[in-house]
Structure 1
Amino acid sequence: MAPASASALPPGVTDPNYSPPPGRLGNLTVLQQHALDKIRKELQDEGAFVPERMDDAALLRFLRARKFDVPKAKAMLLSAEQWRKDVGVDELVRTFEFKEKEEVDKYYPQYYHKIDKDGRPVYIERLGKLDIKALYAITSLDRLQKRLICEYERSLDTRMPAASRAVGHPVETFCTIMDLDGVSLSNFVRVKDYVLEAASIGQNRYPEIMGRFYIINAPWMFSTVWSIIKPWLDEVTVSKIDIVGYSYKDKLLAQIPAENVPKEFGGLCECHGGCSLSDAGPWKDEEDEKHEKKQEEEQAEAPVEDGAPPPE
C-alpha cells in the first residue's frame, strides 16, 4: 500500500487523541489524495463544482462509496446533484413544515437523540410501533419522504457540525438503532416502499454517513424481512449492520453512554416531554444557547421607561 499522504487535518480538531480513519482528511494514501485532487479539478473545470456542498470531506464520502474510482464517484455525485434539482431539495429545506410531527411520533417514532461515544448523532427508528392505518390517516408517503430528506440535510448542516465541535474532531456518520420490537410482517410489507426508498436515498444521495447500525428486538420472522431489504443495500452498508436481537443492552451501552440512551432501551435518559420529541444533543444545546443570547441582547437594547428599574 502506498504511504499515507501528508494531507492536512480538517480545521477545528482539538481532540489530542483523534486519529483520522483511513480514507479521510489527514489519513489519505498518495493515490487517494490524487483521486481527491482529480475529482475536484474535473468538477471545477466542468462547471459542476458547488462549493457549499463539495468540500474535501464531502468529495471523499463519494470517493469512499466508490472505492476511490474517480469516474464512478463523479457519476454518483452528479447523479445526486441532478436528484437534488429534480426533487427541489433546497426549496424543500426552506419551506417544508412537518406539522404532524407529534402525531406521527405516536405511530412511527423516528428521531435523533444525543451522541454515542465517538460523537456520532444517534438516530432511533421504532418500526415495531408502526401503525399503518393511523399513520396514513395523518400523513402520506410523500410527506414522510420529504421529512426524511429535510432531516438528512439538517444533519449535514447542523447536527454533525455541532457534534464535531462538541467532541473536538470531525463527525461524519450516524449511529442508528432500528427497534423491531412488535413488528409484524404485514405491517412491514405495507410500509416496504417507504423503507426501501429511504434506504436508497441514504446510500445513493447521502453516502458514507452510516457509522454503526444496530437492529434490536428482531423477531423470528425477521429473516423474511431481511431477505426483502438486503438485496437493495450495497455490500458496504450491509457490513455495518449488527443484528443484535433481544439481548442488546450491553452492546448499546458499550457504544453509547447510558445517560444518552433512552430509558426504554436500557439507558438513563428521560427527556422532558419524551426523548423522541426532544431532538436532544449538542445541536440543540447550541440552538438554545443562541436563543438565550439573542433574548439577552434584545433585553439589553430595550428602552427603559422613566422610573422603571433597569433589567437585571
Structure 2
Amino acid sequence: MASDNPSMKLDPKYDQYDFPTTSPNKQSGHPGHTTPEQDAQVFQLRMKLESAGYTERLDTLTLLRFLRARKFDVDLSEKMFVDCEKWRKEFNLDYLVRNFDYSEKEQVFEYYPQYYHKTDKDGRPVYIEQLGGIDLTAMYKITTSDRMLQNLAVEYEKLADPRLPACSRKAGSLLETCCTIMDLKGVGVGKVSSVYSYVKLASAISQNYYPERLGRLYLINAPWGFSTVFSVVKGWLDPITVEKIHVLGGGYQKELLAQVPAENLPKIFGGTCDCPGGCALSDEGPWTDPEWAKPAKWQEAPAKAEAIDNEAVNQGTIQDGAKSTAAVPTIEDTTDEIKAAPALE
C-alpha cells in the first residue's frame, strides 16, 4: 500500500535535493506514497532513458511527474519525456532561462498580466493571469509571439526552481504544484478568437512539457454560459483534473479567499495585498525571502548556445509569423508539435 511508504526512496546518483521530498498529497504515486511497483517503474523509466542517451532530469521527482501524467505507463511516459527533451533543445531552453531579458514586461503587462505572487493556504505559489485586456495588435507593437512564449517557458523553469523548492522549505513538505487564478473579466465575444489562439498554445506547452504542475485552477469572472460549456467539457477530462478546476462568476471572493489568504491576494481580487509598484511586478514570495530562497540549480553552470537577441521585440504577429530568435521555433512551428495536446493534467 502507498501508505506503507511514508518517505521517498532517494537515489544519491540522481537525487540531490535541498528541500523536503515527501508530498502532503497521500494519493498513490506521489513522492513518499509510492508502491513497490511504482518504484520499479521509476527505475525502469530511468534505465530506458539512460540507454537512449539522456543524462539530465532523471531524478525521481521528475520521473514520477511524467509517470503520473501517463498513469504509470512506462512507454507513454518515456515518449512524453523524450518529446519534452526534444522541445527543450529546439527551444534552446537551458540557455534561455539563464539569459532571457524580458525588458518589455511592464509594457506587455498593461494588456496581459501574467505573474506569480505569494502563496495560497497550502503554501503553493499563486499564479495569476488577467485575460480581459489582451489586444494582440497592440501587444505585437511591443513584443513578439516568440518572446511571449519564451517568457512563459522561462517562468515555468523558475517555478520548478527556485519557487517551488523555496515554498517546500517554508511548508516543511514537498510542494510540486501551484494555485492558478485566471481572470476572465472583459473577455467578451469579440476577443475570444484572438485570446484563444495564444492561450491554447500556451496551455498546450504547460500540458505537454510541464506535467503535474496544476494544483488548483480558479476561473473567475466567468462570462454567462461558460459554466454550461464547462459542464460538457469536464466530461472529457480526467476526474482528478476536474476536481482541481473551479469555475466562478463575479461572486468569487468568498471561495477564492478560502484558499488564498487575504494578505496574499491582490486588492483587485478582494484581498488586502497592495505591493509597492503593483503586485503584478513584485514577484513576492518565499523564493525572494532569504530565509527560504536558495540559488536555482540551473544557475550553477552556464549553458552554451547561440546568443539570443533580446532587442528584437517588434517583429511578428500570430497572423504573419514572428521572426525567431536563435534556435527558438516560431508559433507556427510549435503549433505543429502540439496539435495532439492532451487534456489538462
Give the total of aligned pairs. Answer: 289
**Structure 1 residue 186 displacement after superposition:** 2.2
Secondary structure of the structure 1 residue equivalent to 2:216: strand
Q: Counterparts in 2 of 1:301-312, with a 5 A limit?
A: none
Moved more, 237-246 or 120-129: 237-246
CA distance in 2, matches of 1:135, 1:68: 41
Q: Which gives a bigger RCO, structure 1 or 2 (Cα 8 Å, sep 6+)? A: 2
Q: Per the alignment, do residues 195 and 226 of structure 1 end up closer, same or farther by CA in structure 2, a change over 3 Å counting?
A: farther
**Structure 1 residue 130 displacement after superposition:** 2.0
Q: By percentage of residues, which structure has more helix?
A: 1
Q: Counterparts in 2 of 1:214-229, with a 5 A limit?
A: 214-220=218-224, 222=226
**Structure 1 residue 133 displacement after superposition:** 3.0
Contact kept? 1:203, 1:237, Cα under 8 Å:
no
TM-score, normalised to structure 2, is 0.75
Aligned to 1:108: 112
Deviations 1:227-246 (A, max 9, x none): 99989977754552211111
Q: Per the alignment, do residues 197 and 91 of structure 1 end up closer, same or farther by CA in structure 2, a change over 3 Å counting?
A: same
**Structure 1 residue 148 displacement after superposition:** 0.3
1:181 maps to amino acid: K
CA distance in 2, matches of 1:289, 1:120: 14
Aligned to 1:166: 170
**Structure 1 residue 29 displacement after superposition:** 1.5
**Structure 1 residue 289 displacement after superposition:** 8.1
Secondary structure of the structure 2 residue equivalent to 1:175: strand
Identity across matched positions, percent: 51
Aligned to 1:304: none
Question: Is 1:276 matched with 2:280?
Answer: yes
Q: Counterparts in 2 of 1:119-198, with a 5 A limit?
A: 119-198=123-202
**Structure 1 residue 12 displacement after superposition:** 5.9
Q: Larger radius of gyration, structure 1 or 2? A: 1
Question: Is 1:8 matched with 2:14?
Answer: no
CA distance in 2, matches of 1:277, 1:99: 12
Secondary structure of the structure 1 residue equivalent to 2:176: coil
> Gaps spanning 5+ residues in structure 1: where?
292-312
Aligned to 1:78: 82
Q: Counterparts in 2 of 1:56-67, with a 5 A limit?
A: 56-67=60-71
2:220 maps to amino acid: I
Question: Is 1:94 matched with 2:98?
Answer: yes
Q: Per the alignment, do residues 288 and 211 of structure 1 end up closer, same or farther by CA in structure 2, a change over 3 Å counting?
A: closer
Question: Is 1:32 matched with 2:38?
Answer: yes
Deviations 1:77-120 (A, max 9, x none): 01100111111111221222111111111111111000111111
Secondary structure of the structure 2 residue equivalent to 1:178: strand
> Gaps spanning 5+ residues in structure 2: where?
11-16, 296-345
CA distance in 1, matches of 2:23, 2:65: 23
**Structure 1 residue 21 displacement after superposition:** 4.0
Contact kept? 1:63, 1:73, Cα under 8 Å:
yes
Contact kept? 2:29, 2:35, Cα under 8 Å:
yes
**Structure 1 residue 159 displacement after superposition:** 0.6
2:168 maps to amino acid: S
TM-score, normalised to structure 1, is 0.83
1:258 maps to amino acid: A
